[in-house]
Amino acid sequence: MTYSIIKKSQLEGALRLDAEYYQPEYLYAQKLIEKNEHYRFDKIINLLTDYHANGSYEILHRNVEIKDIPDYSLMIRAVDLEHTNFDDDVRYVSESAYKFLKKSKIYGNEIIIDKIGNAGAVYLMPKLNRLVTLGMNLFLVRLKDKFNPEFIYVFLNSKYGKLLIERKTTGINPKSLDKISVRNLLIPKISQSFSDLISQSVQKSFTYLADSKIFYQEAESLLLKKLGLDDFKSEHKLFSIVNLSNCEKANRIDAEYFQPKFEELISKIRKQNHSKLGDLVSMQKGFEPGSEAYQENGKAFIRVSNLSKDGIDSSDQKYIIEDLYQSLKSNYQPQVGEILLTKDATPGNAYVVKESIDGIISSGILRLKLKDKIESEYLALCLNSLVGKMQAKRDAGGSIISHWKPEQIRNILIPVLSKPIQQKIAELVQKSHSARQKSKELLESAKKKVEEIIEKGAK
């Protein structure tokens, strides 16, 4: 049994009676920070705001239209920050909406905190050299001038910072975080030299991250140029004429499937040497044990939300027990060199497994095993690019959650360029992943240094 003994005075001060708030690890983190010189977060904040600071739901609805086509200003969401991707599948607002949302404009170097869902996730907003406004369900924190946002970002993502935030979250599904809880977080007071050291690590990490994006864009640009798709723009038409035989072959009659842009893309691919994906790989769908099988610890259960083209994100990782893992691993544990491909919810995200994974994949993910001589990173890039994404968009069905059927996936067309070109593209993708890994390692090192100085100061 796990328990904590709490004084009545502590209960009164916290205004909380639930046992979760007094878990030993939370109390340990709190005491550790209190033993050092520290600030209350509120004392170093210049601005704490959110989207709804601009008005009521009704007023916001009247003045703000969120768009998925490029417009005056980018609107930042948690998913954009999570994947550090501010170009693909993003949201925009008009000039009038941007000006209306004056209380939540973003300039860069702010701390962004998720307040619902993945409550307590903390991000550092990069400078994008474009107009940006804050999306829903996020807090924006702008610090007073003399305080270092990079250090605060690292601390709040460290072991002790996460415990302090987790203690403040309320609810079960979804969890949430309020402004008062954010203001009352404790922040360790550290020397300027140490703060500068952490800042340098974060800035270098962000530089590697930028390099990673550049390498990946070069790889994608090379692929699209070779396919004649580098300036691909389909002419917008209000209608298209389709033969009945094509409808029978596709077993579809919906207008979305027969949009001219899809046929134009396929026509470009057919001009190259190409193969069906099913001829290049074998496929194995993952397994769904049900949410009742999830555990706090154990073996990783990798879901669609954990997977992107950049890798496997463990920030909201679910786990299964050892016995269940042992019974499933022979069929559902990914192996190094395989490609993991999402087929549900966000179909078309592909990632080449680079290290052993102690876990299994969900039923929304496919394991692709190469059976022909094609570069794995090249194939994954094809799937992540316009080539794969448009075919996924054409095929996937579902009014709320998209589903891409395995038989449809087997039949998508993959351009098979010459081996030297494949290798050049694969090399650029590998450089991208290497730079991203260095970025991650620098952040992990910075977090470790912060944890160590907190522990050392508390002795």
Domains defined for the chain, CATH in brackets: 21-188 (3.90.220.20), 190-227+429-459 (no CATH), 272-416 (3.90.220.20)
pLDDT of residue 13: 55
Residue 188 phi/psi, 5-degree rounding, is -65, 140
Q: Retrieve residue 376's tokens.
A: 């794995």
pLDDT of residue 9: 62
Predicted model pTM: 0.88
Span 309-330, pLDDT tens digits: 999 988 778 999 999 999 999 9
Q: Retrieve residue 41's tokens.
A: 């977060």
pLDDT category at 347 given cuts 50, 70, 90 is: very high
The mean pLDDT of 337-360, rounded to a whole number, is 96
pLDDT at 231 > cutoff 90: no
177, 290, 320, 323, 330 from 327: Cα distances, Å: 38, 15, 11, 6, 7
Compute the Cα dihedral for 330, 332, 337, 338 and give only its sign.
Answer: positive
Residue 146 phi/psi, 5-degree rounding, is -80, 0
Are 124 and 109 contacting, i.e. CB atoms less than 8 angstroms apart?
A: yes
* Distance of alpha carbon 83 from alpha carbon 32, whole angstroms: 32
Tell me the angle at which helices 159-168 and 419-457 cross, rounded to the nearest 10 degrees.
80
Cite the DSSP H helix spans in 385-418: 386-395, 406-410
Q: Where are the beta strands (DSSP E) in 201-327?
A: 274-276, 281-285, 299-302, 307-308, 311-312, 318-320
List, as one string, the DSSP characters of 52-83.
Answer: GGG--HHHHHHH---BSS--SEEEE-HHHHHT
pLDDT at 189 > cutoff 90: yes
C-alpha neighbours within 13 Å on the C-beta side of residue 321: 6
* Distance of alpha carbon 380 from alpha carbon 414, whole angstroms: 10
Tell me the angle at which helices 192-226 and 419-457 cross, rounded to the nearest 10 degrees.
170
CA 319 to chain centre: 19
pLDDT category at 89 given cuts 50, 70, 90 is: confident
pLDDT at 35 > cutoff 90: yes
Residue 385 phi/psi, 5-degree rounding, is -85, -175
C-alpha neighbours within 13 Å on the C-beta side of residue 326: 3
pLDDT of residue 277: 97
The mean pLDDT of 130-150, rounded to a whole number, is 96
User: Does 233 or 406 have the greater pLDDT score?
Assistant: 406
Span 241-260, pLDDT tens digits: 777 677 767 677 777 777 88
Span 361-396, pLDDT tens digits: 999 999 999 987 899 999 999 999 999 999 999 999
Are 182 and 47 contacting, i.e. CB atoms less than 8 angstroms apart?
A: no
